[in-house]
């Protein structure tokens, strides 16, 4: 098992890559997430992830940040079980209207990773 870290190079921050993800990416819903993904055009060391919590649903930044922390932590703990050969650009958009407990987010996020990497293996 690799290091359970979430380094800067794993965060999706390139405006060009984000735009490509939202324009060309495929998506699915798995409550409480909308997950977008596209194969990474440039081979890098790892997949890159974008985490978004809409201000429309959560007016207070404290709440948005709490949810983002929980999603990052769940991703950090589960990413090593699924990463393989080719890498992806992934966006997690939190679509639930209320703040879910950490345990529920930790339960749902691995299911999204399973679905992403299973779909990638079929192609």
**Structural domains in the chain plus CATH codes:** 8-122 (3.30.230.10)
pLDDT band at 85 (very low <50, low <70, confident <90, very high): low
Q: What average pLDDT is seen over the chain? A: 89
Residue 112: Cβ-neighbour burial (10 angstroms; 0-12, 13-18, 19+): buried
Query: Of 110, 97, 98, which Cα lies nearest the Cα of 35?
Result: 110
* pLDDT number for residue 101: 96
* pLDDT number for residue 86: 67
* pLDDT number for residue 121: 67
- In angstroms, the Cα distances linking 42 to 45, 46, 63 are 10, 11, 34
**Which has more confidence, 118 or 58?**
58
pLDDT digits (tens, 9 = 90+) for 6-57: 889 899 999 999 999 999 999 999 999 999 999 887 777 788 999 999 999 9
Instruction: DSSP for 16-43, please give it.
Output: HHHHHHHHH-EEEEETTEEEEEEE-SS-
Predicted structure pTM score = 0.90
């Amino acid at each position: 098992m690799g290091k359970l870290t979430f380094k800067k190079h794993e965060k999706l921050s390139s405006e060009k890559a984000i735009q490509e993800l939202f324009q060309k990416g495929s998506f699915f819903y798995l409550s409480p997430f909308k997950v977008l993904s596209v194969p990474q055009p440039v081979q890098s060391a790892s997949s890159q992830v974008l985490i978004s919590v809409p201000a429309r649903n959560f007016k207070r930044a404290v709440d948005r940040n709490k949810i983002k922390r929980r999603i990052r932590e769940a991703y950090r703990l589960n990413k090593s079980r699924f990463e393989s050969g080719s890498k992806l650009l992934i966006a997690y958009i939190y679509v639930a209207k209320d703040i879910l407990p950490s345990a529920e987010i930790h339960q749902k996020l691995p299911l999204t990773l399973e679905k992403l990497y299973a779909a990638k293996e079929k192609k």
